[in-house]
Amino acid sequence: MAECSSSFSDNTSTFAEKGSKRKTRNESEKRRRDTFNRLIDELTLLVAKGDRKMDKSSVLKCAINFLKQQHCKLYNSTLFKCAYF
């Protein structure tokens, strides 16, 4: 009988460990998503066109286009051929 209860307590502690690890992993993932969304929101303020809501991929596309334009402007004055457009 003691053998059975020992096995039960081992399984219970293993189950609790897995639950704790999952909770930690979930919290870490939530922090990562929150940080990502906050950064997307900051980019949205910089690149938004009008009052319409933009999805994340549109925000990133606008930011990339803006950076490409700035890159071309910077290097056009130094006779750099811009291949982006």
From the list 67, 68, 49, 70, the residue with the least C-alpha distance to 58 is: 49
**Is 66 in contact with 49 (CB distance < 8 Å)?**
no
Q: What does the block give as tokens for 9? A: 């307590």
Q: What is the pTM of this model?
A: 0.64
**Per-residue pLDDT tens digits for 14-32:** 777 878 999 999 999 999 9
Q: Within a domain: residue 83? A: no
Domain total of the chain = 1
Could you list the residue range(s) of the whole structural domain that residue 24 is in? 2-76
**Does residue 82 lie within any of the structural domains?**
no
Count of alpha carbons within 13 angstroms of residue 3, beta-carbon side:
0
pLDDT digits (tens, 9 = 90+) for 62-80: 999 999 999 888 888 665 5
Taking CA atoms, 9 is separated from 22, 23, 26, in Å, by: 20, 21, 26
Confidence of residue 81 (pLDDT cuts 50, 70, 90): low
Question: Does 63 fall in a domain?
Answer: yes
Span 27-49, pLDDT tens digits: 999 999 999 999 999 999 999 88
- Cβ burial, residue 54 (10 Å; 0-12/13-18/19+): middle
CATH number at residue 70: 4.10.280.10
